[in-house]
């Protein structure tokens, strides 16, 4: 049973477009929500993360929007570039669980066309 | 900072043999390390959590006698796949976390190890 539901499974945008990936969760004990970027054959790399005490966080071209009441959070990639083509995973961590284990979404494959 | 390495990056072994994968935190002390496996076009599946000096905690369905984990120091954890079979072929990824500093929530991932069992 996946604790974090991620959509869409894949999406294609033109260069300069804004891919948006959505995630939803049920466990209200989650209090840390990171996004990871993974290129084929590589390990995931932490992109950006948010805690529930803020509704938005920006780092460069990446923005997380967080809606605590709806239990949803999303990643926006501004001015997307072909180099952003990768698989993106959202995740959530519950401090009450052992060692802050991460629950991952299923992943979204983003393709940015030149 | 926060670099995690894995060795080897790729390994091919014969069915029935054992393979050891190393995970090292290069510039921080990793009190907790995690091991994941990932099948093509799928998400990461947590296999086990290990704390330095303690026995690993395995996720439900993961055979502890098949996937031996040792976290002997604050910078090194190893995963040994014993008596490997073709169905063990997968991409194995480790991550590390530290309890110190303000980034204690964060997990830093290694580059992964591609295991192929023939």
Closest CA in chain A for residue B94: A43
DSSP string for residues in B68-79? EEEEEETTEEEE
- pLDDT given for residue B101 in this prediction: 61
- Region A59-88: mean pLDDT is 97
Contact A37, A88 (CB under 8 A): yes
The residue with tokens 């091919």 is B12
Contact A7, A20 (CB under 8 A): no
The span from the CA of B110 to the CA of A22, in Å, is 25
The span from the CA of A45 to the CA of B106, in Å, is 11
Å between A101 CA and nearest CA of chain B: 8
Percent of chain A with pLDDT over 90: 83
Fill in the DSSP letter of residue A32.
Answer: B
Task: Give the pair of three-digit tokens for residue A24.
Answer: 């939803």
Residue A110 has pLDDT above 80, yes or no: yes
- pLDDT given for residue B102 in this prediction: 61
β-pairing, B90-97 vs B76-81, is: unpaired
The residue among A86, A38, A111 whose CA lies nearest residue B112 is: A38
The span from the CA of A105 to the CA of B31, in Å, is 25
The span from the CA of B118 to the CA of B114, in Å, is 13
- pLDDT given for residue A68 in this prediction: 94
Residue A83 has pLDDT above 70, yes or no: yes
The span from the CA of B79 to the CA of B117, in Å, is 16
Contact B84, B15 (CB under 8 A): yes
Q: Which of A32, A36, A99 has the CB atom closest to B51's CB atom?
A: A99
Residues of A in contact with B46 (CB under 8 A): 101-102
Residue A1 has pLDDT above 90, yes or no: no
Residues of A in contact with B6 (CB under 8 A): 43
Residue A48 CA from chain centroid, whole number: 8
- Region A74-81: mean pLDDT is 98
Å between B60 CA and nearest CA of chain A: 12
- Region A14-34: mean pLDDT is 95
Give just the sign of the alpha carbon dihedral B61, B65, B68, B73. Answer: positive
- B34/A42 CB distance under 8 A: no
- A98/B110 CB distance under 8 A: no
Confidence band for B81, pLDDT divided at 50, 70 and 90: very high
Residue B71 sits at the chain A interface (C-beta within 8 Å): no
Residues of B in contact with A93 (CB under 8 A): 105
């Amino acid at each position: 049973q996946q604790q974090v539901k991620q959509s869409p499974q894949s999406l294609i945008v033109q260069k300069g477009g804004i891919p948006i990936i959505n995630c939803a969760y049920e466990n209200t004990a989650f209090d840390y929500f990171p996004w990871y970027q993974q290129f084929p054959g590589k390990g995931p790399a932490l992109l950006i993360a948010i805690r529930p005490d803020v509704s938005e966080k920006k780092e460069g071209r990446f923005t997380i929007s967080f809606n605590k009441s709806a239990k949803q959070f999303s990643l926006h990639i501004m001015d997307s570039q072909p180099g952003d083509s990768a698989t993106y995973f959202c995740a959530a961590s519950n401090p009450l669980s052992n060692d802050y284990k991460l629950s991952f979404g299923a992943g979204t494959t983003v393709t940015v066309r030149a | 900072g926060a670099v995690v390495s894995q060795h080897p990056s790729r390994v091919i072994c014969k069915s029935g043999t054992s393979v050891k994968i190393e995970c090292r935190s290069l510039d921080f002390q990793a009190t907790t390390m995690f091991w994941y496996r990932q099948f093509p076009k799928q998400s990461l599946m947590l296999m086990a959590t290990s704390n330095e000096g303690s026995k690993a905690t395995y996720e439900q369905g993961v055979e502890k006698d098949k996937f031996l984990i040792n976290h002997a120091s604050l910078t090194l954890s190893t995963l040994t796949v014993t008596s490997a079979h073709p169905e063990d072929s997968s991409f194995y990824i480790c991550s590390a976390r530290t309890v110190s500093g303000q980034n204690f929530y964060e997990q830093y991932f290694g580059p992964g190890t591609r295991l192929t069992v023939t």
